[in-house]
Copies of this chain bind each other. A is one copy, B any other.
Amino acid sequence: MTAAPREFLDYVDAHKDAFVQRLSDAIAIPSVSGDASYRKHVHEMGHFVQRELNALGVDTKLIPLGPQELDGQTVELPPVVIGRLGDDKSKKTVLVYAHYDVQPALLSDGWTHDPFVLTHDKATDRLYGRGTSDDKGPLLAWINVLEAHKKLGIELPVNMRFCFEGMEESGSEGLDDFINAESKPGKYFDGVDCVCISDNYWLNDVTPCLTYGLRGISYFKVNIQGPAKDLHSGLFGNCVHEPMTDLFHLFSKLVTPHGKILIPGINELVAPLTAEERARYERIDYSIQDINESVGASIALSSDKAEVLMGKMRYPSLSIHGIEGAFSAAGAKTVIPAKISGKFSIRLVPDMTPENVDGLVIKYLEAEFAKLGSKNKMTVENLHGGKPYVADPNHWNFVAAAKATEASASFYGPWT
């Protein structure tokens, strides 16, 4: 195993407090992208990131993405912070992605302290604050790495490009177009050999992970219209076809309580499992206890670790999310809801795509609804779709990342 240079690791230890202070400064900027009233702080955070990169000799630019309609007003999208360091033709060029915006966080959500004040919990020796792990910590880790190399005079083994956005928690609005435009020959991302996305999960809190795939999605809204307005169950129960009854019958046909999708043709789209893949899942440092702990209940679908992991990552899933238009408050309202929209989505894996899935789903819903014999009207909308992504974990990019992770883990891990 190649270890990280001793002097590098010593630098990290010696500057721990400064690194924590840098994170603390970043957490103090409430860069919530989903709320117009916080938008100025998202821009402020973009400037913060640019200053940190500039201080380390990175050639940066703030790329404006134009206006956005949010909360009834027109606001400026936060800029993409791009950066460039090194242009040695004999080296590989690595593009690093991370995001500097965060999800909303309020004390009233259940935080035990101000979420925008980085707080050290002595009992667990952990740092808490909105964005600490998602995604300011991982972003600043790159700044720390660059600083250590620069201060120690260690040459970077690769050329680097940076792409830090401020809209990840709000659909990455504007990013796709920018990336597509800049990926053309002669443009900013031309010549990039591989990408490192610094915004991912571990499976437990012991063993680092490299993510090489992401399930896609097809999200469906199933509208059932019955009466013209909500009815009182005392006056109209057992007198007309009720949309809620139809919806419960219909959605009970989607997936079994054990997670098996019942829509014909869906499971046949899944790429066959190879022996190598199966073996890879067997080797993952994970247990049924890990899954039960991470969800806070002993509700894993299987007692076979590899099966659970494959269910989570390698196979599709179908989840029912809720109903719009029905009674959803506390208490005991005796309403027959008139027009409801059931929502569910399917997580897609290769070789599923929104295109080859959606038709099967809609055809099945229509056929099953017809079997109910209801006089209510059903329509299906597709709210959004995204293709699955999977890379080859044997690609040199992942092999290099695995080596680097092991090298640092041998000094700092396990992270218990």
> Which residues of chain A have a CB within 8 Å of any CB of chain B?
201, 214-215, 217, 219, 221, 225-229, 231, 233-242, 244-246, 248-249, 251-252, 254-259, 291, 295-301, 308, 311-312, 315-324, 326-337, 343, 345, 347, 372-376, 383-384
Contact = CB atoms under 8 A, between A and B. Distances in A.
A241 B215 CA distance: 19
Given A239-B317, A240-B301, A332-B383, 11 more contacts: A238-B316, A239-B312, A245-B319, A251-B252, A257-B374, A299-B375, A321-B326, A321-B333, A323-B326, A328-B328, A331-B383
B317 A233 contact: yes
A295 B299 CA distance: 43
Contact of A226 (B299, B320, B327): B299
Residue with the highest number of chain B CB atoms closer than 10 Å, among A242, A327, A375: A242
Contacts of A336: 319, 321
A75 B235 CA distance: 32
Residue with the highest number of chain B CB atoms closer than 10 Å, among A233, A235, A334: A233
A305 to B, nearest CB: 11
B233 A214 contact: no
Nearest to A332: B383
Contacts of A375: 297-300
A300 to B, nearest CB: 6
A335 B321 contact: yes
Contacts of A296: 227-229
23 contacts: A214-B234, A217-B234, A228-B295, A233-B319, A233-B321, A234-B347, A237-B259, A238-B318, A239-B312, A240-B299, A246-B257, A248-B320, A249-B252, A249-B257, A252-B252, A257-B374, A297-B375, A322-B327, A322-B335, A324-B327, A324-B330, A326-B328, A331-B383
Nearest to A298: B375
A226 B297 contact: yes
A257 B241 contact: yes
Contact of A318 (B219, B225, B237, B324): B237
Given A258-B373, A319-B233, A347-B233, A291 B240 contact: yes
Contact of A245 (B320, B330, B347, B384): B320
A284 to B, nearest CB: 13
A236 B249 CA distance: 24
Given A324-B328, A327-B321, A334-B217, A295 B345 contact: no
Contact of A238 (B225, B235, B327, B347): B347
A337 B323 contact: no
Contacts of A254: 248
Nearest to A225: B297
